């Protein structure tokens, strides 16, 4: 990309705040922009020139994150094999995909289809859920960090937050995706507990250790809709970041876009039919004392679409005065404490005050 050409197209008198407010006031999201017929990416979505230049330093890789088959998990030999694979993937990548995880394909497809239908409804219907109120359980919007990020991301989101309760009532959900969301939520919560058991054993702990720490107590969905982009090289679907919670389970449609940063290379996490992506969050890196890693990842914009994804976050009891630090059983003279304890509510509050692309955010803030 010619940076001088880009800078010439970005006038100095640009009022970013005014443009952000104008975008938000439409309450129609990125899809509303696309539906208007635009051929150019609006300025608020264009990544800063220094970031676009930095992009030239990254290499693309043909590597693939580990894929772990969970079938036979109840048999001792197979379980040991799975635990070993989970341990290696969590230490080296912070990411892996799982197959034969127990959630039927029709449930996965139903969830994706329900989210697509929600986002493709008439804008007036979606506006009923439009909100920036953090305490609202179900809300529709675009870019939760719209006023804190350096560039807006090319996506819209339906967010379902269970921060104050571990369940949601059906009538709180949009009717068009209600049944599919309830079904998927019930299934993925069960899978989450199984994954925490495997991760506990991979750390050499009892299977119930992480679940007893309430790592899987609070959940949140982020149901993303990434429309086709006319100039995908100028923007991102989701900025580079690591996840703040303990664990994320991601369901993605069959359009590529998700990438993980591995050894300074961006690695595509290609969709697998029936597969789910699992990644370690910052809090699991902290409590594991760095044995498991929370890797930076992003979603690139695409000239085709829409791409649909559902990120299910296991975040711990956010609303409580709960303190987390490295697990004592993992500390020794050879492996001393690497992180200080944190108060979960303060930690999440700090995350909510930063942009997703803020390099100062992350678990390194708590490193000793």
pLDDT of residue 346: 81
Let me know: does 252 contact 301? Beta carbons within 8 Å.
no
Q: With 90 as the cut, is the pLDDT of residue 206 above it?
A: yes
> Which of 51-55, 127-131, 262-266 has the weakest average pLDDT?
51-55
Instruction: Give domain status of residue 3, yes or no.
Output: no
Outline where the chain has alpha helix (H): 3-8, 16-26, 29-35, 49-55, 76-92, 105-119, 123-126, 178-202, 209-212, 282-287, 344-352
* Helix spans in 176-261 (H): 178-202, 209-212
Token readout for 311 is 């990120």
Of 1-15, 160-174, 312-326, 337-351, give the lowest mean pLDDT range: 1-15
Task: Please compute the mean of the pLDDT values over residues 38-64 and round it to a whole number.
Answer: 88
| Model pLDDT for residues 287-325, shown as the tens digit of each residue | 999 999 999 999 999 999 999 999 999 988 877 778 999
User: DSSP secondary-structure letter at 261?
Assistant: E
Rounded to an integer, the average pLDDT of 174-188 is 95
295 lies in some domain: yes
pLDDT of residue 357: 64
Residue 117 pLDDT exceeds 60: yes
**Residue 22 forms part of a structural domain:** yes
**Taking the C-alpha atoms of 126, 222, 178 and 34 in order, what is their torsion angle to the nearest 10 degrees?**
30
- What separation, in Å, do the N-terminal and C-terminal C-alpha atoms of the chain show? 40
Read off the pLDDT band of 6 (50, 70, 90): very low
pTM passes above 0.85 = yes
pLDDT confidence of residue 164: 56
- Show the tokens assigned to 231: 């100039």
- In DSSP notation, 275-300 reads -EEEEE-HHHHHHTTTSS----EEEE
Indicate whether 149 belongs to any domain. Answer: yes
What pLDDT is recorded for position 172? 87
CATH of the domain at 237: 2.60.120.330
Q: What is the average pLDDT across 26-32?
A: 95
**pLDDT (average), residues 252-265:** 94
Q: Output phi, psi for 128, to 5 deg.
A: -60, -25
**Radius of gyration of the chain from Cα atoms?**
20
40, 230 Cβ separation under 8 angstroms: yes
In a domain, 9, yes or no: no
Residue 1 located in a structural domain: no
Residue 279 lies in a domain: yes
Q: What does the alpha-carbon distance between residue 325 and residue 340 come to, in Å, rounded to a whole number?
A: 6
Residue 96 domain boundaries:
14-366
The CB density around residue 45, as the number of other CB atoms within 10 Å, is 20
The pLDDT, as a whole number, for residue 99 is 98
> Which SS3 state, helix, strand or coil, does residue 230 take?
coil
Mean per-residue pLDDT, 72-78: 92
Look at residue 8 and tell me if it is in a domain: no
Task: With a cut of 80, say whether residue 362 has pLDDT above it.
Answer: no
| DSSP structural state of residue 169 | -
pLDDT at 11: 56
Judged against a pLDDT cut of 50, whether residue 132 lies above it is answered with yes
Is pLDDT of 7 > 70?
no
Q: What is the pLDDT of residues 327-354, one digit of tens each?
A: 999 999 999 999 999 988 888 777 766 7
> Region 112-136: what's the mean pLDDT?
91
The pLDDT of residue 358 is 63
The beta-carbon contacts of 3-6 under 8 Å, at least 24 apart in sequence, are: 3/49, 3/52, 3/53, 6/46, 6/49, 6/52
- CA separation (Å) from 283 to 64, 118, 245, 307, 336? 24, 31, 5, 28, 18
How many domains does one find in the chain? 1
- What percent of the chain is predicted at pLDDT more than 90? 71
Average pLDDT over residues 69-84: 95
- CA contacts within 13 A on the Cβ side of 80: 2
3-state secondary structure of 73: coil
Average pLDDT over residues 77-103: 98
CB atoms within 10 A of CB 223: 25
Task: Provide the total of helices (H) and of strands (E) in the chain, helices listed first.
Answer: 11, 15
Q: Is 288 helix (H, G, I), strand (E, B) or coil?
A: coil
pLDDT mean across residues, the chain: 90
Q: Which residues of 255-284 are buried (b: 16+ CB within 10 A; e: fewer)?
A: bbbbbbbbeeebbbbebeeebbbbbbbbbb
Chain Cα centroid distance, residue 41: 23
Cα→Cα distances 343→178, 318, 323, Å = 34, 9, 4
User: Lowest-pLDDT range, 116-130, 162-176, 202-216, 321-335?
Assistant: 162-176
Choose the weakest-confidence range: 72-76, 88-92, 192-196, 318-322.
318-322
For the cut 80, the answer to whether the pLDDT of residue 9 exceeds it is no
Phi, psi of 191, deg, nearest 5:
-60, -40
């Amino acid at each position: 990309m010619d940076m001088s050409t880009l800078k010439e197209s970005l006038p100095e008198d640009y009022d970013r705040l005014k443009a952000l407010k104008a975008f938000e006031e439409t309450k129609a999201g990125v899809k509303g922009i696309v539906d208007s017929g635009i051929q150019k990416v609006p300025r608020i979505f264009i990544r800063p020139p220094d970031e676009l230049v930095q992009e030239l330093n990254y290499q693309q890789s043909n590597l693939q994150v580990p894929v772990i088959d969970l079938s036979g998990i109840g048999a001792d030999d197979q379980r040991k094999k799975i635990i070993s694979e989970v341990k290696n993937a969590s230490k080296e990548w912070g990411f892996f995909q799982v197959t034969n995880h127990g959630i039927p394909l029709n449930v996965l497809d139903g969830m994706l289809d329900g989210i697509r239908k929600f986002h493709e409804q008439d804008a007036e219907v979606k506006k009923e859920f439009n909100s920036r109120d953090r305490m609202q359980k179900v809300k529709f919007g675009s870019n939760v960090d719209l006023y804190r990020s350096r560039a807006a991301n090319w996506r819209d989101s339906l967010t379902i937050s269970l921060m104050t309760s571990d369940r949601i009532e059906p009538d709180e959900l949009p009717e068009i995706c209600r049944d599919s969301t309830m079904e998927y939520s019930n299934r993925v919560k069960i899978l989450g507990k199984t994954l925490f058991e495997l991760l506990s054993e991979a750390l050499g702990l009892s299977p119930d250790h992480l679940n007893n720490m309430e790592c899987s107590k609070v959940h949140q969905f982020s149901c993303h809709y990434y429309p086709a982009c006319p100039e995908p090289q100028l923007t991102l679907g989701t900025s580079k970041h690591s996840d703040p919670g303990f664990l994320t389970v991601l369901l993605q449609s069959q359009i590529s876009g998700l990438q993980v940063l591995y050894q300074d290379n961006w690695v595509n996490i290609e969709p697998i039919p029936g597969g789910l992506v699992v990644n370690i969050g910052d809090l699991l890196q902290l409590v594991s004392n760095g044995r498991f890693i929370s890797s930076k990842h992003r979603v690139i914009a695409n000239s085709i679409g829409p791409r649909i994804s559902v990120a299910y976050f296991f975040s711990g009891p956010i609303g409580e005065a709960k303190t987390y630090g490295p697990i004592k059983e993992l500390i020794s003279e050879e492996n001393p404490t690497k992180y200080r304890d944190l108060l979960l509510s303060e930690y999440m509050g700090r995350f909510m005050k930063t942009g997703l692309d803020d390099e100062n955010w992350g678990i390194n803030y708590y490193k000793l």
